[in-house]
Structure 1
Amino acid sequence: MTTTTMANLPLVLVEDILSRVPMTSLRAIRLTCKTWNRLLKNQIIGKKAATKNQFLGFMLIDFTICSMRFDLRGISNNDDDDDDDFIDQSVKEVSELYEFSISQIFHCDGLLLCVFNDTSSKTLMVCNMYLGQTRMIKARQLFDRFSKSGVYAFGYDDSEENRNHKILRNETNGGGYEIYDFRSDSWRLLDVAPDGDTNFGEKLSLSLKGNAYFFATEEYDETLLVDGETLYSRESRLRA
């Protein structure tokens, strides 16, 4: 009798199996062999995922982080609603992070920046969901707090080979802007600010190719899409 091992399975079958594994369980699998590690990266963020228009996102439900796999072409890939071609879009709690109460999340380059649902929190949390790792980031000063209603952005420098991720933050009470550098593990206070008539709402930033974008409003209620490395207004810029 011939015995088939996992290493001898067809790549198409292995890809199908790996696509059904929860994100938070991938760490153990990726250590199995280099081939599986490469396949996993391709499934999640590589050409394979882009070709299928299937992406893994994250959202908050009752201050709990949940993962959601979705298909940009819709629930089904064809008009016949073939069960074999159905994309599972169920929302699942990330069990490893269930103990944390989170008020804001920001996704960038496979990393997840988490703001705790606590007005007196002294730390931010960054999670690498693929590796199953977390990093706690302390405030710049001993008595600083990370407000759950503050303004945050998450991005990185342009270098493809060795990206340096950064966090921008501002308190809603009128405090200044400061930026955290992952490489130096330190905060730096920025000596510039956007136009005083421009307001950056909380939970309204996103990251695209390392740059952060904000939806902003001016006093006369004009909605703006504000871009920067990380922010800019008509007369001044904040750069990472």
Structure 2
Amino acid sequence: MPPTDGPWCPEDFTARLRAVSATRYHDRHPFNVRMHEGTLTPAELRRWILNRFHYQRHIPVKDALILAKFDDPALRRSWLRRIQDHDGAAEGEGGIERWLRLGEAAGIGRDRLWSGTEVLPGVRLAVDGYVNFCRLRSPLEAVAASLTELAAPAIMRRRIDAFEHHYRWIEADGLTYFRDRIGQGSRDSEEALALVLTWARTRQEQKAAVAALAFKCEVLWSLLDAVDHGGSRS
């Protein structure tokens, strides 16, 4: 019999990662539940769009920190695509631009989003925690934390449906970010999963990867906690 402290087989390891993503992802957060049920007020939805932008604008920052950890030029070129997905290849392109358009469709000006003056302290702490995690931890842990993308396509589909049915006051063109992330999230998660399965060769490394993914789920949950309770500061 194999030693009990030996590495999990690839199927078991994958199942454990997917279980974290399935059970601890922020789609279960009460704020997201209310969003998808269509019960958020315009002020609540705008508060989420504005604060979530603080997270969105830091995605290419954390990906640049991860890319800097890689020794393989081919892997750097592959990961560079993630930065370009958000920053765009030219002005007016990319995920950050599409989030700005979502804000505009909801009545939030670009200058207001970029200023960051209305970002809640809890959101800043959550985002800073994730960026520092990617800066300080191993390549394995930093990549494993990105595996929340395993659950992203499903939540994007529910979000599009919710916005189209319940928040029709938001212009339809503003939903492009969500539509694009369905395909990007599926591709990114499968690539990251393949890296994690290759790099995590011991039980300790596998546990570290699972813990990193759980941490990222906590970051997203904490961000929504701050947004959910942010109305009390208004």
Greater relative CO, 1 or 2 (CA 8 Å, sep 6+) = 2
Instruction: Name the one with the larger strand percent.
Output: 1
The structure number with the bigger radius of gyration is: 1
- Structure with higher helix content: 2
Which TM-score band (shorter chain)?
Answer: under 0.3
Give the structure-1-normalised TM-score: 0.25
Q: TM-score, normalised by structure 2?
A: 0.25
